[in-house]
Amino acid sequence: MEIKPFFTLISKHRPAKWIIAAAIVLGLLETAMSLLIPLLTKDVVEQLSASSLETFTIVSLAAVFILQTATSGFSVYTMSYVGQFIIGGIRKELWERVLRLPVPFYDRNTSGETMSRVTNDTNVIKDFIISHVISFLGGIVSIIGGVAILLYIDWKMTVLMFIAVPLAMLILWPLGSKMFKISKSMQDETALFQGDLGRVLSDIRLVKASLAEEVEYKQGKGRIKSLFRFGLQEAKIMSIVTPLMMTVMLLILVLLIGYGGVRVAQNSLSTGELVAIILYMFQIVMPFTQMASFFTQFQKAMGASMRIIELLKEPAESGAAAAGMKVQPLALDKDLTLAFEGVSFAYSADRPIVKNLTFEAQPGGMTAIVGPSGTGKTTLFSLIERFYDPSDGVIRYGDVPIADIGLEGWRSRIAYVSQDSPMMAGTIRHNLTYGLEGTDESKIKEALAQSNLSEFIASLPQGLETEVGERGVKLSGGQRQRLAIARALLRDPDILLLDEATAHLDSDSEKLVQEALNELMKARTTLVIAHRLSTISNADKIIVLEKGEVTGQGTHAELLQAHELYAKLVEQQFIDNQAV
Catalytic site residues? 500
- CA gap 42, 45 in Å, rounded: 5
- CA gap 266, 260 in Å, rounded: 10
Q: Between β-strands 338-348 and 392-397, what pairing exists: parallel, antiparallel or unpaired?
A: antiparallel
Q: Between β-strands 541-546 and 366-370, what pairing exists: parallel, antiparallel or unpaired?
A: parallel
* Cβ-contact 256, 278 below 8 angstroms: yes
Q: How far is CA 285 from the centre of its chain?
A: 39
* Cβ-contact 129, 79 below 8 angstroms: yes
- CA gap 186, 72 in Å, rounded: 33
Measured from the Cβ of residue 145, the count of other Cβ atoms closer than 10 Å reads: 19
The three-state secondary structure class of 544 is strand
266 burial level (CB within 10 Å; 0-12, 13-18, 19+): exposed
Element (H, E) at 287: helix 271-312
536 burial level (CB within 10 Å; 0-12, 13-18, 19+): buried
Contacts of 43 (CB under 8 A, 6+ apart): 57, 272
- CA gap 152, 551 in Å, rounded: 94
* Cβ-contact 427, 444 below 8 angstroms: no
Amino acid identity at 305 = S
Which of 230, 255, 243, 124 has its CA nearest to residue 172?
Answer: 243
Length of the chain: 580
- CA gap 470, 479 in Å, rounded: 15
Contacts 24+ apart (CB under 8 A), 202-207: 202/111
462 phi, psi to nearest 5 deg: -100, 5
